[in-house]
Amino acid sequence: MESGTITIYIRLRHKISGVLHETLTLDRLAQVIAPEKIKSHIDKMVIHQIKQEDNSYVVIDAMDIIRRIYQHYPNSDIQTVGPSQTIVVVSTKPKKARLILFALVWILLFIGAGLTIMNFHEDVAMQEVHQKIYTMVTGKVDFKPLILQIPYSIGIGIGMILFFNHIFKKRFNEEPSPLEVEMFNYEQDLDRYIAFHEKEKNEVGNHRD
Amino acid sequence: MISSLILIIVGFSGGLAVGCGFVAFLAVLGIIPRLAQLTKTYGYIRAYEWSIVASAVIGSWLSLRNTSFHLSHVLLIPIGLGAGVFVGMLAAALTEVLNVLPILAKRIGIHEQILLLLMAIVLGKVFGSLFHWSFFVDK
C-alpha cells in the first residue's frame, strides 16, 4: 500500500433519532475505524444540521459522508460497510399531545375490537351454536346459556394473549411473537421507502442549487 | 332408490368441499403451528391434525343429529373456555390486528407501549363478547 494513504472504514447506522436544530456529527451517524490520530477529528465532523424544512425524516447518504471526509483527507481510502444510508427520525411532537393521541387510539381499538367480535358472532350465528351446545350437553333449553358464554368470552382474551405470547414470553421461550415480527417487517418496509424517496428529493434539491 | 343415491353423492361432495375449506382456513391462519411453537411440541403435529379431523367429524355428526347427553352444567365451563381460547387465537391471527397495530404504533410514535394497544384490543374483544351475550341478544 502507498505510504501516504490512510484507510477509513465507515459503517452507517441504520436509523437514529434526532431533535430539531441538532448538529449531527459523524460519530452519531456511523461507526468509524480510522488511524487513532485522525479518528477523533473524523468523529466530530459535522455532516448535517437538522432544519425546519427537513420535516420528520432526513436521509444521510454514504456519498455525502465520503465527500465530506475527502475534503479534509484527499488521499484517504474510504470503505463503507453495511447500509448505504442513515435515516434520521426527527422527533418534534411534544409528549403531552402524544399521550392524548394514545388514549384516543386506545379507546378506538377497544370499541372497534368489541364491535368486530360482535359482528363475528352475529355473522356465524354464534348464539344459536351456544344454545345448541347447551342443549347437547345438559338436555335442557336456555336462550342465554351464560354458563357457557362467560368462560367463552374470557377464553377469547386468553387465546389472543397466547397467540401473541406476550405474558408467557419469559416462561416459554424467547422466540419473537408474530406481532413483533410484523412490526419489524413494517418498519423495514417503511425505512426502505423513506431511504429511497427522501434521497430522491434531496438529489432533486441539490441539482437545483 | 336413485334419489337416495343422488343424495349420498351430494352429501358426500358437500362434506368433502367443506372439510377442505375448513382445513385450508386453519392452515392459512397458522394457529396449529403457533400452538406447537408455544409448547415446543412440533413432533406431535400429526396428532394435532387428527384431533382436528376427529373433532370436526364428531362435532358435525352430533350437531346434525341433535344428540343430547343430559350431563352436568359444570361441563360447559371448560367447553366454553376452550372454544373461547380457540376463537381468540383465530381473532388474533386474522390480519386485521397484525396489520393495524404496527401502523398505529408508528403513527402516534409509541413503540414501547404496543403491549398496551394490544391489551386494548384484547379487552375490547372480551367486553364486547360479554356485552353481546348479556345485553345485546335481549333485543
Query: Along the 209 residues of chain A, how does pLDDT read in single tens digits?
Result: 445 688 888 898 888 888 888 888 888 888 888 888 888 888 888 888 888 877 778 888 888 888 888 888 888 888 888 888 888 888 766 666 678 888 888 898 899 989 988 998 999 888 888 898 888 888 888 888 888 899 999 999 988 888 877 555 555 556 677 777 877 888 888 888 888 887 666 665 555 44
Using a CB-CB cut-off of 8 Å, the residues of chain B touching A107 are 120
Point out which residues pair with A104 in neighbouring strands: none
- The answer as to whether A175 is a domain residue is yes
**Chain-chain contact of A113 with B134 (C-beta, under 8 angstroms):** no
Q: What is the mean pLDDT of chain B?
A: 85
**Chain-chain contact of B118 with A118 (C-beta, under 8 angstroms):** no
Cα–Cα distances in angstroms (integers) from residue B96 to residues A51, B21, B80, B121, in the given order:
37, 21, 24, 11
Cα B125 from Cα B123, distance rounded (Å): 5
- The answer as to whether A208 is a domain residue is no
Of the candidates B63, B91, B108, the beta carbon closest to that of A132 is on: B63
Residues A117 and A186 in one domain: yes
Q: C-alpha cell of A115?
A: 364491535
**Chain-chain contact of A187 with B38 (C-beta, under 8 angstroms):** no
Name the domain count of chain A. 2
> Which of A60, A92, A124 is the last residue before a domain boundary?
A92
Smallest CA–CA distance from B73 into chain A, residue: A138
Residues A109 and A168 in one domain: yes
Residues A69 and A116 in one domain: no
Q: What is the mean pLDDT of chain A?
A: 81
Question: What pLDDT, on the 0 to 100 scale, is given for residue A25?
Answer: 86
Regarding an ipTM greater than 0.85, the answer is no
- The answer as to whether A171 is a domain residue is yes
Residues A50 and A112 in one domain: no
Residues A194 and A99 in one domain: yes
Cα B15 from Cα B13, distance rounded (Å): 5
- The answer as to whether A209 is a domain residue is no
- The answer as to whether A157 is a domain residue is yes
Q: Kindly write down the DSSP assignment for every residue of A41-53, as one continuous string.
A: HHHT-EEEE--GG
- Ranges of H-type helices in chain B: 2-29, 31-39, 45-65, 76-93, 95-107, 114-134
Residues A27 and A62 in one domain: yes
All residues at 6 or more sequence positions from B22 whose CB lies less than 8 Å from its CB, including other chains: B56
The pLDDT tens digits for B39-62 are: 888 888 889 889 999 999 998 888
- The answer as to whether A206 is a domain residue is no
**Chain-chain contact of A152 with B89 (C-beta, under 8 angstroms):** no
Under DSSP, the state recorded for A34 is -
- CATH of residue A72: 2.60.480.10
- The answer as to whether A32 is a domain residue is yes
Residues A78 and A130 in one domain: no
Question: What pLDDT, on the 0 to 100 scale, is given for residue A208?
Answer: 47
pLDDT class of B96 with cuts at 50, 70, 90: low
Smallest CA–CA distance from A158 into chain B, residue: B85
Mean pLDDT within B111-125 = 81
Question: What pLDDT, on the 0 to 100 scale, is given for residue B112?
Answer: 66
Point out which residues pair with A81 in neighbouring strands: A11
Residues A119 and A171 in one domain: yes
> Which of A50, A70, A92 is the last residue before a domain boundary?
A92
Mean pLDDT within B92-114 = 73
Mean pLDDT within B62-91 = 87
Question: What pLDDT, on the 0 to 100 scale, is given for residue A201?
Answer: 66
Cα A129 from Cα A125, distance rounded (Å): 7
- The answer as to whether A17 is a domain residue is yes
- Ranges of H-type helices in A31-145: 36-43, 62-72, 95-123, 126-138
Question: What pLDDT, on the 0 to 100 scale, is given for residue B82?
Answer: 92
SS3 A89: strand
Question: What pLDDT, on the 0 to 100 scale, is given for residue B5?
Answer: 92
Q: Which structural domain, as residue segments, surrounds residue A85?
A: 6-92
